[in-house]
């Protein structure tokens, strides 16, 4: 037993000794990984030798520590060494890159400019898209804020807010907001029409993150006569004086005391408030019933509790709010869904309701612009690939030499990719400069205030680095793969020529480039045509030579008759009319049953109020009955005009003389039928309409003028207005401009398309130009021989240009159907639209061809006219 145990013991010791004779395996493995010199022969062998010596001398423990220490110490040396060789090689690559740039400066310039222009377009659009996507996201609780809406409409009744808060647990807080633009506000002698004037619940400042500069956001709106201003508005009224506690007069009647100032809301909000007064005060002043479910003119925003499911919340609206209401009104089920919700952050890009608080953008355009950005970047990359591959022959010898000396394919790929990344970085630097220069123009194009500010936008610069890398790698990938694949033997023995495979791929790239360009040109033409169509289409009213003045405040309304008389004394003023809406934007309607058909689902009818001169001033036609007329004293009690659509929808046989009721209850006779005109933009078809004669209530004055000396005439109008309402801020617009404003999004799209189509053409031409230059170079000898044998200059010219022409023609065939499809889709947005004729396609195809031809011909003519002696004497 004892002996046995002893044997085990000695065996154990021996095992341990055996283990110790070897240095630590893990450390050894590391050393071998770092210095793989025939399995670590030299260094590891040396270390083991020293380790054994040390082990005998000082014991295995110290030897092991020493070994580990050596392993750790070797690591920095390993890193430095790795780096050293990398740097050495990198220095060489850099040198070759710089030499290449210098030697082929034209080529490099073409390439870098192409990339830079592409990148510039990309960055500009990226800035824009980033900005549009950022709308309303700055609010701390942005993801929990929702807006209540109705089917297709943004306005909700006033009692909805409190009902949501009271009946639905998920709702933390509710704020109702009501916008009254063009509200007259005065402080001592300063009068301004406030565009961004809001009546809002005090909770507004809980829900939205609007930091206060002075005053307490919690209590600022608690007093019924409190008013809260944005910083810029406070400065406008009070300069540098402390605004707190000052009294402001609103609409010449009501006084409000400043109780807070908040910092200006960022422009990337779907509504920007400048003046905020308590919501409930509005109802008190205007004698409206705040508990009435019938008055739809405010927006309801609410904050969901943390972790609440918006869908669950939305499903509760029907049982808790709608059904009790329907039942109270005595309606029988099934009850339709009436209220819906939408997230705050989706309003700017996804909400296209009527009665929106401001002009929203459309996700479609964002996607469209982004695609254009990527297309242009793609074209620029293709350009690079094209030129770089065309150049590859010139560098064939370098590749061959490197390979002979021992470069591996991977190393060459890294070298060429590195080169293209360097190009991309250079182009990026250029393009940032170009962006800085182009930004003001671009800002006015898209009507935004974009800036290239690294402090506000750090991720943008990360994006730049990423894009430069991506473009470099992507654009460089094909040339790098191709060039690194050269066989040194064929390159160096001189038998290397441009392979037909490579040239056909380059032609395909040109094809794609031109297809994209043609596509953009067609889109530009189609958008312009549609806009021209809108502009010149007979809307049913005249747009020219009409000035409109917005009216707020009582003094003008009281004196309107005198104002009209005085205005008409001017010889250049033909007519003056007052109306609630201008004819291009009649967006108020009532849904009560006006047809007398007892329909289950009432048809909404739009309405406008106007005076006697409205119809004539806007050149509308009466097709049946008569216009409002002072010759009929009974008209003064209130009469109606309806449009043809209303008559048709209501199936009236004789509308004239029918009794009709205004939405607010006044009744009167229908005296005439107006020829249909477009009430809104051409996005929607013509709806039923009535016009109620009312000379006292209006929001606009329209003045028809002769177009002689307009500035003097405007001075005169201003003088008259000032006379009757001193201090009233005078502002006016030309009706045709107001009209075009409604198509702002489309106009912007047209302009952006146009601008980027030009860029795309430019880049594509750069590429084509570069290619012809090289094609001509390639064929110098061929051209020389042809000329020696008697070919004429024109023959040579045709020979060189016909190849490109063929590809551009083919590009047309690809681009046409795609453009047709996309533009047709876009035109569906319009109830009235053009048909894209073949002309647009022919024009764009022709333009592309012409430009391509010009580009190609410069070099072609040069080569065709060259003296063959020069090209052949080296043989």
Partner 1 sequence: MVKKGLILPEFRFQVNFFDNNCVVYNIGDSMDTKFISRSEEFLLLAVWRLKENAYGVTIRNQIKEATGKSWAYGALFVMLRRLEKKGYLTSHFSDPSSQRGGKSKRIFQLSPQGVKALKEVRKAQKSVWSGIEELSVPQE
Bridge partners for 473 per DSSP: none
The distance of Cα 297 from the centroid of its chain, to the nearest Å, equals: 29
CA–CA separation, 132 and 359 (whole Å): 12
Judged by CB under 8 A, does residue 61 bind partner 1?
no
Judged by CB under 8 A, does residue 35 bind partner 1?
yes
Contact string 125-154 vs partner 1 (x = CB under 8 A): ------------------------------
CA–CA separation, 849 and 855 (whole Å): 10
CA–CA separation, 56 and 45 (whole Å): 17
Q: Which is nearer to partner 1, 364 or 394 (CB)?
A: 394
**Residue 874, SS3?**
coil
Pairing verdict, β 247-250 and 197-200: unpaired
Q: Which is nearer to partner 1, 67 or 660 (CB)?
A: 67
Judged by CB under 8 A, does residue 874 bind partner 1?
yes
Binding positions for partner 1, 483-522, rule CB under 8 A: 492, 494
Judged by CB under 8 A, does residue 43 bind partner 1?
yes
Burial class (CB within 10 angstroms; exposed 0-12, middle 13-18, buried 19+) of 102: exposed
Judged by CB under 8 A, does residue 18 bind partner 1?
no
Smallest gap, in angstroms, from Cβ of residue 534 to partner 1?
46
CA–CA separation, 445 and 432 (whole Å): 19
CA–CA separation, 473 and 381 (whole Å): 10
Q: Which is nearer to partner 1, 239 or 494 (CB)?
A: 494
Smallest gap, in angstroms, from Cβ of residue 39 to partner 1?
7
Judged by CB under 8 A, does residue 25 bind partner 1?
no
Judged by CB under 8 A, does residue 47 bind partner 1?
yes
Residues near 864 by beta carbon (within 8 Å), at least 6 away in sequence:
783, 793, 794, 796, 797, 800
Which of 3, 4, 18, 38: binder of partner 1 (CB under 8 A)?
38
Judged by CB under 8 A, does residue 327 bind partner 1?
no
Judged by CB under 8 A, does residue 609 bind partner 1?
no
CA–CA separation, 277 and 701 (whole Å): 27
Judged by CB under 8 A, does residue 77 bind partner 1?
yes
CA–CA separation, 678 and 682 (whole Å): 7
Binding positions for partner 1, 372-401, rule CB under 8 A: 394-395, 397-398, 401
- Concatenated DSSP letters for 148-213? EEETTB--EETTHHHHHHHH-TTEEEEEEEEE--SEEEEETTEEEEESSEEEE-TTHHHHS---EE
Binding positions for partner 1, 685-714, rule CB under 8 A: none
Cα angle value 867/869/875 (rounded, 5°)? 140
Binding positions for partner 1, 189-218, rule CB under 8 A: none
Q: Which stretch binds partner 1 (CB under 8 A): 34-42, 333-341, 351-359, 814-822?
A: 34-42
Q: Which is nearer to partner 1, 78 or 832 (CB)?
A: 78
Judged by CB under 8 A, does residue 37 bind partner 1?
yes
Q: Which stretch binds partner 1 (CB under 8 A): 5-13, 75-83, 249-257, 674-682?
A: 75-83
Judged by CB under 8 A, does residue 34 bind partner 1?
yes
Query: Per the structure block, which two tokens stand in for 85?
Result: 């060789």
Which of 24, 64, 78, 325: binder of partner 1 (CB under 8 A)?
78
Smallest gap, in angstroms, from Cβ of residue 780 to partner 1?
6
Answer for the pair 145, 303: CB distance below 8 angstroms, yes or no: yes
Q: Which is nearer to partner 1, 42 or 291 (CB)?
A: 42
Q: Which is nearer to partner 1, 16 or 255 (CB)?
A: 16
Q: Which is nearer to partner 1, 672 or 784 (CB)?
A: 784
**Closest Cα to residue 552, out of 699, 695, 697, 726?**
699
Cα angle value 549/552/555 (rounded, 5°)? 105
Smallest gap, in angstroms, from Cβ of residue 98 to partner 1?
12
Contact string 83-122 vs partner 1 (x = CB under 8 A): -x---x---x--xx--xx--xx-xx---------------
Judged by CB under 8 A, does residue 54 bind partner 1?
no
Judged by CB under 8 A, does residue 861 bind partner 1?
no
Gyration radius of the chain over CA positions:
39
Smallest gap, in angstroms, from Cβ of residue 16 to partner 1?
18
Query: Per the structure block, which two tokens stand in for 662?
Result: 């205004």
Judged by CB under 8 A, does residue 782 bind partner 1?
no
Which runs of E-coded beta strand occur in 460-593? 546-550, 573-579, 589-590
Q: Which is nearer to partner 1, 82 or 715 (CB)?
A: 82
Q: Which is nearer to partner 1, 56 or 447 (CB)?
A: 56
End-to-end CA distance of the chain: 100
Number of amino acids touching partner 1 (CB under 8 A): 59
Which of 80, 455, 708, 789: binder of partner 1 (CB under 8 A)?
80
Smallest gap, in angstroms, from Cβ of residue 482 to partner 1?
16
Q: Which is nearer to partner 1, 73 or 741 (CB)?
A: 73
User: How many of the other CB atoms lie within 10 Å of CB of 64?
Assistant: 17
Smallest gap, in angstroms, from Cβ of residue 113 to partner 1?
14
Q: Which is nearer to partner 1, 49 or 544 (CB)?
A: 49
Pairing verdict, β 573-579 and 546-550: unpaired
Q: H-helix or E-strand containing 121?
A: helix 105-133
Which runs of E-coded beta strand occur in 268-384? 275-278, 296-304, 339-343
Cα angle value 376/381/382 (rounded, 5°)? 95
Smallest gap, in angstroms, from Cβ of residue 7 to partner 1?
27
Binding positions for partner 1, 806-825, rule CB under 8 A: none
Which ranges in 789-836 belong to alpha helices (H)?
793-827
Which of 296, 780, 847, 857: binder of partner 1 (CB under 8 A)?
780
Which of 681, 812, 844, 859: binder of partner 1 (CB under 8 A)?
859
Bridge partners for 193 per DSSP: 184
**Closest Cα to residue 704, out of 620, 630, 621, 616?**
616
Tokens 């450390």 correspond to: 27
Q: Which is nearer to partner 1, 81 or 715 (CB)?
A: 81
Query: Contacts for 5-10 with beta carbons within 8 Å, 24 or more apart?
Result: none
- Concatenated DSSP letters for 513-552? HHHHHHHHHHHHHHHHHHHHHHHHS--SS--TTEEEEE--
Cα angle value 107/108/112 (rounded, 5°)? 120
Judged by CB under 8 A, does residue 408 bind partner 1?
no
- Rounded to the nearest 10°, the torsion over CA 506, 512, 516, 521 is 70
**Closest Cα to residue 765, out of 420, 513, 392, 512?**
513
Which of 11, 13, 14, 46: binder of partner 1 (CB under 8 A)?
46
Judged by CB under 8 A, does residue 797 bind partner 1?
no
**Closest Cα to residue 276, out of 323, 226, 239?**
226
Judged by CB under 8 A, does residue 867 bind partner 1?
yes
Q: Which stretch binds partner 1 (CB under 8 A): 43-51, 159-167, 232-240, 527-535?
A: 43-51
Which of 328, 329, 405, 838: binder of partner 1 (CB under 8 A)?
405
Smallest gap, in angstroms, from Cβ of residue 97 to partner 1?
11
Which of 24, 48, 134, 457: binder of partner 1 (CB under 8 A)?
48
Q: Which is nearer to partner 1, 306 or 875 (CB)?
A: 875
Q: Which stretch binds partner 1 (CB under 8 A): 49-57, 365-373, 537-545, 637-645?
A: 49-57
Residues near partner 1 (CB under 8 A):
22-23, 34-35, 37-50, 52, 70, 73-78, 80-81, 84, 88, 92, 95-96, 99-100, 103-104, 106-107, 394-395, 397-398, 401-402, 405, 492, 494, 773, 777, 780-781, 859, 862, 866-867, 870, 874-875
């Amino acid at each position: 037993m004892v002996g046995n145990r002893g044997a085990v013991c000695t065996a154990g010791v021996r095992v341990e000794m055996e283990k110790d004779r070897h240095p630590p395996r893990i450390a050894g493995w590391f050393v071998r990984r770092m210095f793989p010199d025939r399995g670590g022969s030299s260094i590891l062998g040396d270390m083991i030798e020293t380790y054994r010596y040390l082990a005998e001398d000082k014991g295995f423990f110290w030897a092991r520590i020493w070994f580990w220490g050596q392993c750790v110490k070797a690591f920095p040396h390993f890193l430095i060494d790795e780096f050293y060789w990398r740097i050495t090689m990198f220095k060489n690559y850099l040198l070759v890159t710089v030499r290449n740039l210098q030697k082929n400066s034209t080529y490099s310039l073409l390439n870098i400019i192409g990339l830079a222009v592409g990148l510039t377009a990309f960055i500009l659009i990226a800035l824009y898209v980033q900005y549009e996507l950022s709308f309303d996201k700055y609010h701390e609780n942005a993801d929990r804020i929702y807006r209540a809406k109705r089917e297709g409409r943004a306005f909700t009744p006033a009692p909805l807010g409190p009902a949501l808060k009271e009946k639905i647990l998920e709702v933390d807080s509710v704020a109702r907001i009501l916008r009254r633009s063009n509200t007259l506000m005065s402080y001592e002698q300063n009068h301004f029409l406030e565009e961004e004037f809001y009546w809002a619940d005090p909770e507004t400042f809980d829900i939205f993150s609007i930091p206060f500069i002075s005053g307490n956001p919690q209590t600022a709106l608690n007093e019924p006569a409190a008013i809260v201003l944005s910083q810029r508005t406070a400065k406008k009224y009070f300069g540098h004086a402390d605004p707190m506690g000052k009294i402001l007069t609103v609409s010449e009647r009501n006084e409000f005391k400043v109780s807070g100032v908040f910092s200006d809301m960022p422009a990337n909000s779907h509504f920007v408030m400048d003046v905020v007064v308590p919501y409930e005060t509005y109802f008190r002043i205007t004698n409206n019933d705040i508990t009435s479910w019938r008055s739809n003119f405010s927006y309801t925003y609410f904050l969901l509790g943390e972790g609440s499911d918006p869908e669950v919340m939305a499903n509760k609206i029907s049982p808790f709010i709608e059904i009790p209401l329907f039942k109270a009104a005595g309606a029988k089920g099934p009850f339709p869904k009436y209220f819906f919700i939408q997230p705050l952050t989706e309003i700017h890009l996804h909400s296209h309701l009527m009665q929106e608080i401001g002009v929203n953008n459309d996700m479609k355009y964002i996607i469209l612009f982004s695609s254009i950005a990527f297309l242009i970047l793609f074209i620029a990359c293709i350009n690079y690939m094209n030129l770089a591959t065309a150049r590859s022959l010139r560098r064939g010898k370098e590749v061959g030499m490197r390979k002979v000396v021992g470069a591996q394919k991977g190393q060459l790929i890294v070298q060429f990719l590195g080169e293209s990344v360097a190009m991309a970085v250079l182009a990026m630097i250029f393009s940032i400069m170009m962006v800085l220069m182009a930004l003001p123009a671009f800002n006015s194009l898209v009507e935004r205030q974009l800036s290239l500010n690294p402090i506000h936008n750090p991720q943008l610069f990360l994006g730049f680095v990423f894009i430069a890398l991506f473009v470099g790698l992507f654009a460089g990938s094909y040339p790098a793969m191709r060039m690194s694949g050269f066989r040194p033997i064929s390159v160096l023995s001189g038998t290397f020529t441009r392979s037909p495979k490579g040239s056909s791929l380059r032609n395909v790239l040109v094809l794609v480039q031109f297809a994209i360009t043609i596509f953009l040109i067609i889109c530009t033409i189609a958008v312009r045509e549609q806009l021209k169509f809108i502009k010149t289409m007979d809307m049913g009213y005249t747009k020219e030579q009409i000035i409109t003045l917005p009216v707020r405040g009582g003094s003008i309304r009281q004196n309107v008759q005198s104002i009209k008389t005085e205005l008409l004394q001017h010889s250049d003023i033909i007519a003056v009319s007052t109306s609630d809406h201008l004819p291009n934007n009649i967006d108020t309607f009532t849904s009560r049953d006006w047809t007398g058909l007892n329909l289950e689902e009432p048809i909404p009818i739009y309405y406008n109020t106007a005076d006697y001169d409205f119809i004539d001033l806007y050149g509308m036609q009466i097709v049946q009955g008569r216009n409002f007329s002072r010759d009929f004293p009974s008209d003064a009690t209130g009469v109606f005009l309806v449009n043809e659509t209303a008559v048709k929808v209501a199936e009236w046989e004789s509308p004239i003389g029918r009794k009709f009721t205004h939405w607010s209850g006044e009744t009167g006779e229908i005296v005439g039928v107006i020829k249909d005109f477009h009430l809104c933009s051409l996005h929607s078809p013509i709806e039923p309409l009535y016009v109620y004669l009312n000379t006292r209530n209006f929001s606009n004055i329209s003045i028809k003028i002769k177009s002689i000396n307009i500035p003097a005439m405007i001075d005169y109008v201003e003088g008259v207005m000032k006379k009757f309402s001193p201090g009233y801020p005078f502002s006016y617009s030309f009706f045709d401009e107001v009209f075009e404003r409604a198509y702002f999004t489309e106009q912007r799209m047209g302009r952006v398309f146009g601008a980027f189509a030009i860029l795309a053409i430019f880049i594509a031409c750069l590429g084509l130009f570069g290619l012809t230059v090289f094609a001509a170079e390639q064929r110098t000898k061929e051209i020389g021989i042809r000329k020696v044998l008697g070919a004429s200059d024109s023959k040579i010219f045709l020979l060189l240009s016909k190849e490109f022409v063929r590809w551009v023609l083919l590009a047309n065939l690809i681009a046409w159907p795609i453009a047709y499809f996309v533009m047709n889709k876009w035109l569906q947005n319009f109830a009235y639209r053009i048909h894209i004729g073949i002309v647009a396609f022919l024009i764009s195809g022709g333009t592309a061809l012409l430009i391509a031809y010009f580009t190609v011909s410069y070099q072609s003519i040069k080569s065709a006219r060259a003296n063959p002696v020069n090209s052949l004497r080296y043989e």
